[in-house]
């Protein structure tokens, strides 16, 4: 049943037909250039639309936890409030600082947005619907996601502002620290699946999601990933880099206009990326939910497109992370680092050893 599902809603034949059609009527280089431009435009549009959805979703989730309605006046149910905010950012003036390092100051937001888009491109939305697909996909994701910390450090240093500098140092310390736990969790799941190719990891979950097949080590890895991913995205209760009561706006205090918009977009898309990777590695990606013995139920689940499965699972993880943010108070920086170095990292290493032992002994197939 799992193998037959791989052919449902597979868009790879469509993309192959388009490629062959273009190569028939024009030079191959020109065909690849057109395909690349179309993919780039689609990627940027998807990036922007998802950011708008998440901003609206967070405002409503926050309001629900605080027993209020959230934005309601601009459009029905406040649906146009985010579009109004986007328009406001677009027409805002980009302020030039007198004593800043102008080149690095202007470069920093582009580094952050580039790292975010590259990681976003690795997410497998459906069979055949993935921009970047390497046989070392897990290693590539870990590598490009770590570029973002360079942009944050440059933003704080080049602004020549004490608040920005402190915020960037906090962000750098947290992101570099929690990248270790994220990397160990990813390696744990690579040991379980035996591959670093993202699509292969998803396809291997056709007969059961990794969080169920991996037993207790996979569940522990999932919980570690949620905490470390939340910290990596600089979200509460780990939002020390943007603590408004202490640092105004942290490392992007001195940014305005679309430069600030880039940081804002990247923050929300990083939330989606963290959730999307969790969906891919642990929750089957675009694979449906199958229950052994319930063939009728499994057949019905197979008719739901993989894109719907991926987006639904990812939004579920997004909601979990928002729940965490609006439930727990902000931690101190020493508490954040202690949690990583004294608890999460040792637990992740022990869990990796247990997963390796289970895989070698045949307990986990």
312 pairs with which residues across the strands?
none
Compute the distance between CA of residue 179 and CA of residue 231 in angstroms, rounded to an integer.
Answer: 9
Q: What pLDDT is recorded for position 2? A: 44
pLDDT tens for the 365 residues of the chain, in order: 444 455 556 777 788 888 888 888 888 888 888 888 988 898 889 988 999 999 999 999 999 998 898 888 888 888 899 899 888 888 888 877 777 788 888 899 999 999 999 999 999 988 878 888 888 889 999 999 889 888 888 988 888 888 888 888 888 888 889 999 999 999 999 999 999 999 999 988 888 899 998 889 999 999 999 999 998 888 878 887 776 666 677 788 888 888 888 888 888 899 999 999 999 999 988 888 888 778 888 888 888 888 899 999 999 999 999 999 889 888 888 898 999 999 999 999 999 999 999 988 887 76
What is the Cα–Cα distance from 135 to 354, expressed in whole angstroms? 25
Q: Distance (Å, rounded) from C-alpha 45 to C-alpha 28?
A: 26
Among positive and negative, which fits the CA dihedral 127, 128, 131, 134? positive
Tokens of 282: 């642990």
Query: 192-231 burial, b if ≥16 CB within 10 A, otherwise e?
Result: bbebbbbbebbbbbbebbbbebbeebbebbbebbbbbbbb
**Residue 298 preceded by cis peptide, ω within 30:** no
- Please answer whether residues 217 and 184 qualify as being in contact, where contact means their C-beta atoms are separated by less than 8 angstroms: no
- Say what the alpha-carbon torsion angle 249, 250, 255, 261 is, to the nearest 10 degrees: -70
Give me the residue spans of the domains in the chain. Answer: 86-361
Provide the pLDDT for residue 1. 43
Query: In the block, which residue shows the tokens 């689940």?
Result: 301
Alpha-carbon gap, residue 226 to 171, rounded angstroms: 18
The predicted pLDDT at position 189 comes to: 94
């Amino acid at each position: 049943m799992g193998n037959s599902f791989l052919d449902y809603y597979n868009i790879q034949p469509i993309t192959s037909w388009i490629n062959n059609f273009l190569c028939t009527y024009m030079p191959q280089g020109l065909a690849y250039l057109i395909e690349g431009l179309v993919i780039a435009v689609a990627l940027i549009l998807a990036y922007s639309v998802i950011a708008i959805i998440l901003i609206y979703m967070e405002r409503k989730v926050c309001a629900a936890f605080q027993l209020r309605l959230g934005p309601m006046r601009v459009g029905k149910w406040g649906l146009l409030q985010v579009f109004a905010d986007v328009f406001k950012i677009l027409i805002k003036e980009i302020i030039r600082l007198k004593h800043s390092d102008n080149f690095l100051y202007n470069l920093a937001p582009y580094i952050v947005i580039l790292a975010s888009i590259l990681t976003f491109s690795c997410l497998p939305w459906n069979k055949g619907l993935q921009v970047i697909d390497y046989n070392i996909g897990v290693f590539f994701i870990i590598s490009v996601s770590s570029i973002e910390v360079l942009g944050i450090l440059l933003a704080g240093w080049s602004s020549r502002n004490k608040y920005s500098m402190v915020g960037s140092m906090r962000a750098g310390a947290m992101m570099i620290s929690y990248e270790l736990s994220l990397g160990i969790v990813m390696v744990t799941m690579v040991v379980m699946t035996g591959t670093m190719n993202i699509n292969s990891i998803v396809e291997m979950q056709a007969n059961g999601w990794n969080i169920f097949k991996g037993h207790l080590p996979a569940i522990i890895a999932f919980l570690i990933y949620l905490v470390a991913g939340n910290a990596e995205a600089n979200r509460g209760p780990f939002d020390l880099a943007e603590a408004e009561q202490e640092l105004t706006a942290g490392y992007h205090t001195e940014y305005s206009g679309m430069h600030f918009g880039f940081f804002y977009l990247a923050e929300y898309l990083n939330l989606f990326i963290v959730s999307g990777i969790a969906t891919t590695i642990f929750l089957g990606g675009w694979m449906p939910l199958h229950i052994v013995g319930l063939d009728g139920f499994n057949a019905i689940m197979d008719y739901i497109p993989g894109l719907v499965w991926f987006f639904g699972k990812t939004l579920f993880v997004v909601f979990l992370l928002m729940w965490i943010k609006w439930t727990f108070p902000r931690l101190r920086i020493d508490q954040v680092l202690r949690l990583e170095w004294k608890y999460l990292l040792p637990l992740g290493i022990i869990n990796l050893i247990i997963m390796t032992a289970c895989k070698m002994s045949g307990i986990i197939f």
